[in-house]
Structure 1
Amino acid sequence: MADAVRRAVTIEPGTVEPGSVRVRGYRSGVLVADADPPLLVWEHRFYPQYFFSPGQVRVELRPAGPGPRSPSLGPSEMLDVVVGDAVLDGAARRYPQAPVEEVRETVTFDWSALDTWLAEEEVVHTHARDPYVRVDAMPSGRHVRVVAGGQVVAESSRPVVLVQSGQPPRYYLPRVDVRMDLLTPTGTVSYCAYKGTAAYWTVRAGGLELTDVAWGYDNPLREGLLVAGLVCFWPEKNADLEVYVDGERVQEP
């Protein structure tokens, strides 16, 4: 069933669709691009990118030579982006030989080159949102037990299960049901366009040291509000971490 779900939400590289909301990108308070809506282009299968027509770009673009070839969109041309007195070297690119003609005159910007992205009036984090990804978090009565080296690290019958398109269910546990004394924060963080910024822990239990096998969101985005402050364990990260849901061990999907 999990494989069927993944196939259902997989978008082929090179797919082009019109967006459905207004998107703006800013750098240092200067409006760089404004589209209502932009094109959504899947250069790879993971998530789309925003592409803007010339009339939707509000700053000067200067040719900066050839860029890398995209397997799905073909050769690229790099463009410097002029924002006030600043020049963002190679921060935009165009694909003049893209298979879909309407893409050929549009440009896309390196996500990190702009410091603020808005979909309508909501800040978009990490990358463009995929309209086919859905995130649902809901209270659950399942029994979740986490074991490392024969020692129980966590046990709860009140998890929050979070389901994201194309991903296995994740069970987030209240900290009072987790042996937090066995968890040590690390400097690792990850970023999700739908849930926000996650911080990680190393589990030290049963004579084992399992690095970055647990994570949590202290200040999640709206899709993940129900998991705020909870702890999730990652059995695929290390085979020595055992996670059981209703007595059945979670295996690598």
Structure 2
Amino acid sequence: MGTSAGSPCPWSDRVGARVRPSGPCSDLSVGDGRGGVTAAESSRPMMLVETSLPVRWYLPREDVRTELLTPSETHTVCAYKGVASSLSADGAPDVAWFYPEPLHDALPVKDLVCFWRAATVFVDGATVDPSMPGG
């Protein structure tokens, strides 16, 4: 993602965002990391690929249990994607984010939700790493 609002991404000189559909065969589900609640299930995730960062999976809001999420005070900035707004869940602060007004490179993920940290993300049944480098 980036750092606090107004600060550039620490890796912005090395990053370019490329967004593409994940493909018709991909199914994605997001759990709470404790084997309990399923926060999202989608057969239409979008894959965002950035240099030197893990692949990110963005989900349509209709596929996310938004009643489990609340807006957070946290906003981060990326030179390529813009300002992200964070969402929290019970016991999982800032577990997801979205771009309400993305920059050009990230327009395909406008208002789509991406999970990380405390979430457990599965793509086609396999766990994927939702962490950030160094995090």
**Same-fold status (TM-score > 0.5):** yes
Structure with the bigger RCO (C-alpha within 8 Å, sep 6+) is 2
Correspondent of 2:114 among 206, 222, 232 = 232
Question: Which residue in 2 is equivalent to 1:172?
Answer: 58
User: Which portions of structure 1, spanning 4 or more consecutive aligned residues, are displaced by more than 6 angstroms?
Assistant: none
**Equivalent position amino acid for 2:127 in 1:** R
Aligned counterpart, 1:152: 38
Secondary structure in 2 matching 1:225: helix
Structure 2 gap ranges (5+): 1-5
| TM-fit CA distance, 1:129 | 5.2
Q: Are 1:244 and 2:126 counterparts?
A: no
Match of 2:38, SS state, is: strand
How large is the Cα RMSD of the aligned pairs?
2.0
Shift of 1:139: 1.3
Amino acid corresponding to residue 120 of structure 2 in structure 1:
E
1:162 aligned partner? 48
Q: TM-score, normalised by structure 1?
A: 0.45
Cα distance in 2 for residues equivalent to 1:213 and 1:129: 22
Matches within 5 A, 1:43-192: 126=8, 130=13, 132-141=14-23, 142-148=26-32, 149=34, 150-192=36-78
Q: Normalised by the size of structure 2, how large is the TM-score?
A: 0.82
Number of the residue aligned with 1:202: 88
Deviations 1:101-128, CA, capped at 9 Å, x for gaps: xxxxxxxxxxx7xxxxxxxxxxxx8379
Structure 1 distance, partners of 2:82, 2:43, is 26
Aligned residues: 121
CA distance in 1, matches of 2:105, 2:46: 13
Gaps of 5+ in 1: 1-111, 113-124
Indicate the percent of aligned positions where both proteins have the same amino acid: 45
Contact 2:12–2:78, Cα closer than 8 Å, also in 1: no
CA distance in 1, matches of 2:82, 2:15: 15
Higher strand share: 1
Larger Rg: 1
